[in-house]
Amino acid sequence: MNLIYLLCIILAITILVSLTMTHVKLSRFAGQIALIAPVLALVYFLWQIPRVVEGQMTMVNIPWLQAIDIDLAFRLDGLSLLFGILISGIGVAVFYYATQYLSKEHDHLPRFYIYLLLFMFSMIGVVTSNNTILLYVFWELTSVSSFLLISYWYDKEDSQYGAIQSFVITVLGGLALLVGFVMIYSITGTNTITDILDQSDKIANHPLFIPIIILVLIGAFTKSAQFPFHVWLPKAMAAPTPVSAYLHSATMVKAGIFLLFRFTPVLGLSDFYIYSVTFVGLITMIYGAINALRQYDLKAILAYSTISQLGMIMSMVGLGGGYAQHTSDELSAKYAMLLFAALFHLLNHALYKGALFMGVGIIDHETGTRDIRQLSGMRKVFPKVHFVMLLSALSMAGIPFLNGFLSKEMFFDGLLSAHELPQFNIVLTLIIDLLGGLASVFTMIYVVYMIKEVFWGNYSEAKLEVAKPHEPLKFTLPSLLMTLLLPVIFFVPNLFGDHLVLPALRSITIGEKVDQFAPHIAQWHGVNLPLILSVVVILVGIIAGLKINWTKFARNFKVKSITEFYDNSYKQFERYSGYRIRVLMN
């Protein structure tokens, strides 16, 4: 079975689910039917691991509009395999979780699963496309399907607002990306991504290179919620929690990061790209971490934590982009380590963030609230959810014996040794060290703050909207299984590194020495600067999280919302558009 067949099967299952809309009894099983699609996709991608590890690449090309080089071209290499496994693997958990989360009596199940299948189909298309225009089509399909999912409860004002804002921002970013792709075509004469990468030097020497970088970055930053385009992501929390878990862990917000990985051999030839991605990522990281502390809603806390973590991954992608510049072996090893760390943290983030959102969804579903001011002592009511969210949150904070610690150590190592890269002197290194260190402290603080407020303290049923909440095993099973992987990856990291991360690194780097440059993941490197920084971050974060009243901080700390700027701009644009249409259609 090749990629075309897989996508056709997903579409066939989508059509099958749509047919259940006309039959009341069958519609109750829409989720079980839809679950077949991510299971088949996961089996397919897992089956491809041995071939990809050996360096083989699956290519499919069906001619379409040959005059302008638009073909149905797909390829499965290490990078698309890693993302494919995340999309389908987390998809299995999310689809099953949704069958327990949604109501068979009150929710329109076929419609939800049609949207969710379209979402998964679009993301698999994005990561496997080998043609820029085809990639753009799937890129926009992710925006359309996410709009439909966020607005699923369309009778709610928050759902309408969140869907429109996310759609406007990501589609405008997509249009910028399309213009960038057209510029690339004007230089290379091809839309085939593998051919474009082979002409990287030609693109880098063209006067349009910097405009291309800017346009591609706008597309990536809007999709992956980087500052100042991040505002749509917290508003997207109006979607059902299974959607939030999928969107944050493995799908749409990772599309922008995938795009930069895919085009690193071209974009990394410019120091402007390296500086832009690194500093936008670090600013986003610290901004998201601080704003997570200002939230009362558990999903809002996790939304800002996703923004922060995406910024962290972005900064590593930026720092590692210099691999494209054909530097010495010593520098290539540094760049390769940073790209490897970004890929590894992307895998880690998908697991713990998916589990966190599922845990919050269970609490919300069973208590009727996500407000941390009404939740306290939940460990007595939700012991399994407490286990899930405690381990997942600590992994996000980079605590030892969990997978997040390993990639966080690589992140610190990259920041502290940035002065060894030609793009960064000691002053710039100190700046990025300060930004990364402070953001990590705030990450530890909001993790302690969230767990303390929700699970510790005295339990009070009077504050809850639902009496006698409980946690069925079927409901918690997906998040439990994902959480159990967190310590497993810590103790056998190279099982995942060698079979998933390293093949992905090979597909975005240049040269035959990448295997010797890729780091061997180890739990212990001795007492060094990254370890010392980790200890400082953990201690300061725990003390500040326990001793400071962050609920009071959230109430008193007010900032001018960037959302207001977007709202005003949108209203002005809408008025202008209306005026121009009335002039035209008089």
**Is 580 part of any domain?**
no
Number of folded domains that form the chain:
1
pLDDT digits (tens, 9 = 90+) for 111-148: 999 999 999 999 999 999 999 999 999 999 999 999 99
Q: In the chain, what is the straight-line distance between the N-terminal and C-terminal CA atoms, in Å?
A: 55
Using pLDDT thresholds of 50, 70 and 90, give the confidence band for residue 470. Answer: confident
330-339: string of b/e by CB count within 10 Å (b at 16+)?
A: ebbbbbbbbb
**297 SS3 class:** strand
**Is 419 part of any domain?**
yes
**Is 215 part of any domain?**
no
Instruction: Identify the H or E element spanning 351.
Output: helix 329-367
| pLDDT score for 329 | 80
pLDDT digits (tens, 9 = 90+) for 301-312: 999 999 999 999
The backbone torsions φ and ψ at residue 302, rounded to the nearest 5 degrees and listed phi first, read -70, -30
pLDDT digits (tens, 9 = 90+) for 356-382: 999 999 998 888 888 888 888 888 888
Nearest to 215 by CA among 172, 153, 266, 165: 172
**Is 449 part of any domain?**
yes
Would the pLDDT of 557 be above 70? no
Residue 298 makes CB contacts below 8 A (sequence gap 6+) with 360, 363, 364, 370, 371, 372, 375, 450, 454
**Is 38 part of any domain?**
yes
The angle formed by the CA atoms of residues 365, 371 and 375, to the nearest 5 degrees, is 80
pTM of the model: 0.93
**Is 212 part of any domain?**
no
| pLDDT score for 573 | 75
| pLDDT score for 555 | 54
Return the higher-pLDDT residue of 92 and 523.
Answer: 92
**528 SS3 class:** coil
**Is 187 part of any domain?**
no
**302 SS3 class:** helix
**Is 28 part of any domain?**
yes
